[in-house]
Structure 1
Amino acid sequence: MRYLRLLCIAPLLARLTGCSQQPFREDVLPANLTRAAFPLPVPTLDLDFRIVVDLNPLIPVGEGPFGKRNWISFSGGVFTAKWGTGTVVPGGQDSQVVVAESLSTAVETNYLLKTDDKEPAYITVRTTGWRTGPKEVMERLFDPARANDVKPEEYSFRLNVKMETGDERYKEVVNTAMWVGSGARLGATVVYDAYRVA
């Protein structure tokens, strides 16, 4: 029904937007939406901050219904952003689920940032994402003796990042923003860059 509505209003949208003469992108859009000729802005990515998280040793929780569960707590870290700097408060955690066949790893983290202001602000961070790549590379990442030799370009580590604070100085900057992250494991740390979606 939603698609039918879009098709019905397409002529009106075309007149309002002046797009009636624009060619349809049938190679990109689903066939049932091609007549809804309504241009939308393309999102852009802007590098906004880098976070380095210090990790405690991995605790294996065991096999669950979706794969092997790991628990990794955070001992600290630092961040540098366009809007401030600060530290990662000890006590955050990463809950992982490892797919047995490929060793692809779903990650879900929750932790707290403390800004370097004289009166610091506290910002919650939540990330979800995947670490994927050739199984041989994933095996090396899980092996402490070989993990440091794995280069970031050998695998993919991508994250969705959300943040929240009640501090008036940062509410407008972080509460309604969206980020995507690109990360890597480096020894007993995880490093990732977060790109603001605009």
Structure 2
Amino acid sequence: MNSWHSRPPLSDHAYQPEVAGPTQSSSSMPDIGEDSEWDTALVVTDEWMKVASERRHSGWESVERKWVENQALQQRGPKPPSEITKEASEAMARFPYPHMSIPTPQLDFDFRMRVILNPQSASVAVSDGFKKWSTFSDGTFAGRFGYGSVINGGQESQDVAYGNSAATQVEATHRLQTADEVPAYIECKTRGNMTGSPELVKALQDAETSREANPRLCPFRVFITMKTSDERYAAKLNTGLWIGSCLWKGLEVVYDAYRIS
């Protein structure tokens, strides 16, 4: 299947750094560094790398326009405070321990995962509609903790409509295999939803109609947890929690996972 990721190689100003991971010849691994059409660039930092949410480029008119608008808003100064509603005021009066300071969670870009769905799927009737069960035929991952392949797993999804919008609720389990000489196996679970117009949500999940659909118009967010009995990775993964920002186009789903600290 032809990948929907394709664009010229990154320039000298944004390049793919060497991913820290187990030592093994890259020739035995599938290509996990494919270029893509994402509206992002990989930026090297002292802490490995992060994903920049905006990249200025002469050909990206919408990004340029948004950047100029943001600059203009910053020059105008902060917005005047809005009036507090009655509901908000009542909630604040009942706020527990109002003088207590609790640490704010931080998000750090941790890994990217790409999976391919099998074209065949099964539908199961439930009390409130139908759920679709799909399996994965292929996949790769790479990040701070290592890299490897997605060797199997399944995904359960259900379409939900509300008003003029639709959502596809997704629960998936992936089995990851690291690229170590003696590989480790990791259970990766995701749960979340993709939202957008009913027509676009449906089009993105079809291999044919998705060719003309833009997945960036449908926000797709998931929670991610991982678990392994392998001592090399257990301390890194078993107590972690990630938020994933995803794109779903046809039979391909790509996750960017941000670890919560």
- The normalised TM-score by structure 1 is 0.79
- Map Cα deviations across residues 10-37 of structure 1 (whole Å, 9 max, x no partner): xxxxxxxxxxxxxxxx77x743126531
Please list the CA deviations of residues 69-118 of structure 1 after superposition, one character each: whole Å capped at 9, or x if unmatched. Answer: 1011011210001110000013x100111125554111111121000011
SS in 2 for 1:99: strand
Higher RCO, Cα 8 Å, sep 6+: 1
| Identity percentage of aligned residues | 37
Asked if 1:154 is matched to 2:237, the reply is no
Shift of the 167–137 alpha-carbon distance from structure 1 to 2, 3 Å rule, reads same
Is 2:193 the partner of 1:130? yes
Distance change (3 Å), C-alpha of 1:143 and 1:54 = closer
How many pairs align?
Answer: 173
Higher mean displacement: 76-85 or 35-44 = 35-44
The residue aligned with 1:16 is: none
| Contact 1:58 1:70 survives alignment (8 Å) | no
Q: Answer whether contact 1:66 1:97 (CA < 8 A) is retained.
A: no
Find the counterpart in structure 2 of residue 97 from structure 1.
158
Q: Which of 90, 115, 122 does residue 53 from structure 1 map onto?
A: 115
Which contiguous aligned blocks of 4+ residues in structure 1 show a shift greater than 3 angstroms?
100-103
CA RMSD, 1 decimal: 2.2
1:171 match: secondary structure: helix
Q: Distance in 1 between matches of 2:129 and 2:258?
A: 30
**Shift in alpha-carbon separation, 1:58–1:157, aligned structure 2, 3 A:** farther
Residue among 84, 105, 126 paired with 1:43:
105
- The residue number in structure 1 matching 2:126 is 64
Q: C-alpha distance in 1, partners of 2:93/2:211?
A: 47
Is 1:83 equivalent to 2:173 in the alignment? no
Partner of 2:176: 113
In structure 1, what residue type is equivalent to 2:146? Answer: G
Q: Which residue of 2 aligns with 1:170?
A: 233
Question: TM-score by structure 2 length?
Answer: 0.61
Relative to structure 1, the CA distance from residue 31 to residue 60 in structure 2 (aligned partners, 3 Å threshold; closer, same or farther) is: farther
Name stretches of at least 5 consecutive residues in structure 2 with no aligned partner. 1-87
Task: Tell me which amino acid in the other structure corresponds to 1:131.
Answer: M
Deviation at 1:142, TM superposition (A): 3.3
- The 2-side partners of 1:56 and 1:121 are apart by 24
